[in-house]
Amino acid sequence: MYIESALTRHDVTEAFPPHALTPQGPAHEHPAHPAGGVSLQSLFAKQPVEKFEAGTAVFWEGDAASHVFEVTEGVLRIFRMMNDGRRVITGFVYPGDLLGVSLERHYLYTAEAVTPVKLRRFARARFQHEIQNSPELRPQLFARLCDEMAAAQDQMVLLARKTAEERVASFLLVIARRLGAARETMPVVEIPMTRLDMADYLGLTIETVSRIMTRLTQRGVIEPNGRHAIFVRKLRLLATLAGECEEKAGVLHEAAPVRRAVWPQ
Amino acid sequence: MYIESALTRHDVTEAFPPHALTPQGPAHEHPAHPAGGVSLQSLFAKQPVEKFEAGTAVFWEGDAASHVFEVTEGVLRIFRMMNDGRRVITGFVYPGDLLGVSLERHYLYTAEAVTPVKLRRFARARFQHEIQNSPELRPQLFARLCDEMAAAQDQMVLLARKTAEERVASFLLVIARRLGAARETMPVVEIPMTRLDMADYLGLTIETVSRIMTRLTQRGVIEPNGRHAIFVRKLRLLATLAGECEEKAGVLHEAAPVRRAVWPQ
DNA sequence: CGGTCGGTTGAAGCGCATCAATCCAAGTGG
DNA sequence: CCACTTGGATTGATGCGCTTCAACCGACCG
């Protein structure tokens, strides 16, 4: 159990045409730096693009942490394993996100392509150099770290105290918001990862995830559209089921905060 | 339920004489900056010290995030609440730690004194200013954030996949290491927080925490020394019970990594 | 066609939560 | 000094939510 096998390339490319997982529009957008200056994106722009097939690892937990990556297309899972094979996915990485930023000598987690992935890399030393010499890039990197920290705290709340239904609802809500489906009244939410991925991310089993998904379907909250996409039919109800705090429990677009890299410059 | 009442001052001060919760020796030491330069500690050193009694809040989730703090004495709990009162403690803050560093306008969590606490504060704008003008301080702050991120991931693993016993064992192990009890063959581990705090940190109930503690006692792994301290009798076994990965499963002093603020400078 | 893989569904079991009683240490007031 | 209170912690009995085990389905593939 807990053996994750690769999706076949065919399977994935069919389910996720390139446009779905490429940064575009206001969805999951990292702040373009004001005043047309340098951005983290533009820093990586000159590096050659590398491709990874679905199911392959970009690096492994314990590898020497030699590079920093920027994802330009596709989705990855970040996970750690316990001795006996228990797996915990600590996050998913989307286009525009950075990967491998840390102080340790070795990567603390494995990064594996969920879908076909395209990314660019920097040698760590060079990335350091670029960052430390750019008063424009530093606050951007800092902002990314803070966002990641906030997400980690949300996840801790989810794992520590939420029920299975609340966990699944929270997850669906987050990816609905991330994919920027806000503009549509009946948002289609792409779910690139497998049920096992969801389970290992939510601290549940595949069976429980599956049961909750069918229950949400039966209640008309969501409507499946193939294995890897759903329509969200009752967004407000979904938010309620997610057990969110009031201030967050608005509709989709309210949840996309205006993230500004205000400091330290 | 989940109502946290304050410890009386007497209760706490008796259980935790000042020396126990003040930074000293190699325990839980943040890196003094090399070459005798400026450190985050020294930055705060000129600020006046403020005292908070056990059980009082330094700030609340949702407050305008106006200040950044450095703890000089005592322990705090950092937590978030769900609508219905479920509480999740996302971390404990020890002397030498920073508090309230984030990009949001409002604090994302409440910070409450577990024991009597002494701390210094900076207005956020001024802290920003100091950081952005100091190529010595920036990497130190960055290092703190990375450490915090790593700790958050450990916690996610704990909450997502560990059993109750593994959670409690992990917790005891971490605070044993933090308090730097390595030098003693029979380390005394101070546990300033209540069982409820432990439960809300570990995603369990007080009853379960209590049961596990007595079970560990019966097996001779630990030996209680009052309510807020234990002797660790079988450290290796405790590490095994914690379900750690091999590379971490050494003795105490192996677990205190040499943290160097290597980048970005 | 059988084989594989991801997913769904059902039945049974278990680990932790819940509910409740009791204990203990310390504080309080007569 | 002693009854009484209070809050944290422990311990036991019971219940439930999720896991575990197992069967089965449908899509895809060699």
Q: Percentage of chain B with pLDDT > 70?
A: 75
Q: Residue B93 has what pLDDT?
A: 97
d(CA B255, CA B146) in angstroms, rounded, equals: 17
d(CA B263, CA A132) in angstroms, rounded, equals: 8
Is there a contact between A113 and A58 (Cβ–Cβ < 8 Å)?
A: yes
* Strand C contact with B208 (CB < 7 A): yes
Q: Residue B54 has what pLDDT?
A: 94
Mean pLDDT of B207-232: 96
Which chain B residue has the Cα nearest residue A141? B142
d(CA A12, CA B213) in angstroms, rounded, equals: 48
Q: Token digits for B238?
A: 């405790």
**Residues 6 or more apart in contact with residue A22 via CB below 8 angstroms:** A72, A73, A95
What is the number of alpha carbons within 13 Å of residue B204 lying toward its C-beta?
Answer: 24
Whether B264 shows a pLDDT value over 60: the answer reads: no
Q: Percentage of chain A with pLDDT > 70?
A: 75
| Collapsed DSSP state (helix, strand, coil) of residue B57 | strand
pLDDT digits (tens, 9 = 90+) for B232-258: 999 999 999 999 765 454 444 444 443
Q: Residue B11 has what pLDDT?
A: 41
Mean pLDDT of A49-76: 96
Whether B124 shows a pLDDT value over 60: the answer reads: yes
Model pTM score: 0.87
Hey, are the CB atoms on A264 and B104 less than 8 Å from each other? no
What is the per-residue DSSP string for B93-154? E-TT-EE---SSSB-SSEEEESS-EEEEEEEHHHHHHHHHT-TTHHHHHHHHHHHHHHHHHH
Q: Residue B245 has what pLDDT?
A: 64
* Strand D contact with B194 (CB < 7 A): yes
Whether A200 shows a pLDDT value over 90: the answer reads: yes
Q: Residue B261 has what pLDDT?
A: 41
Hey, are the CB atoms on B152 and A147 less than 8 Å from each other? no
In the 3-class helix/strand/coil scheme, how is A175-187 assigned residue by residue? HHHHCCHHHCCCC
* Strand D contact with B206 (CB < 7 A): yes
Most confident of A27-31, A138-142, B40-44: A138-142
Amino acid at B70: E
pLDDT digits (tens, 9 = 90+) for B92-121: 999 999 999 988 889 999 999 999 999 999
Q: Residue B106 has what pLDDT?
A: 94
Nearest to B83 among A109, A150, A245 (CB): A245
Q: CB atoms < 10 A from the CB of B230, how many?
A: 23
* Strand C contact with A203 (CB < 7 A): no
Q: Residue A258 has what pLDDT?
A: 39
CA distance A192 to chain B (A): 21
Q: Who among residues 173-232 of A has its Cβ near strand D, under 7 Å?
A: 203-205, 207-208, 211
Question: How high does pLDDT run on average in chain B?
Answer: 83
* Chain B interface disruption, residue of A43, A63, A80, A103, most B CBs within 10 A: A103
Q: Residue A49 has what pLDDT?
A: 97
Q: Residue B254 has what pLDDT?
A: 43
pLDDT digits (tens, 9 = 90+) for B163-218: 999 999 999 999 998 876 555 566 789 999 999 999 999 999 999 999 999 999 99
Q: Residue B84 has what pLDDT?
A: 93
B107, B85, B109, B74: which is closest to B193 by C-alpha?
Answer: B74
* Strand C contact with A164 (CB < 7 A): no
For B122, phi then psi, to 5°, come to -125, 140
* Strand C contact with B54 (CB < 7 A): no
* Chain B interface disruption, residue of A88, A101, A260, most B CBs within 10 A: A88
Question: ∠ CA(A204), CA(A209), CA(A214), 5° rounding?
Answer: 160
Kindly indicate the confidence band of residue A179, based on its pLDDT and cuts at 50, 70 and 90.
confident
Nearest to B88 among A128, A161, A246 (CB): A161
Q: Who among residues 207-246 of A has its Cβ near strand C, under 7 Å?
A: 207, 209-211, 213-214, 224, 227-228
Q: Percentage of chain A with pLDDT > 90?
A: 66
Residues in chain A: 265
Residues in chain B: 265
Which residue is it, tokens 């479920």? B86
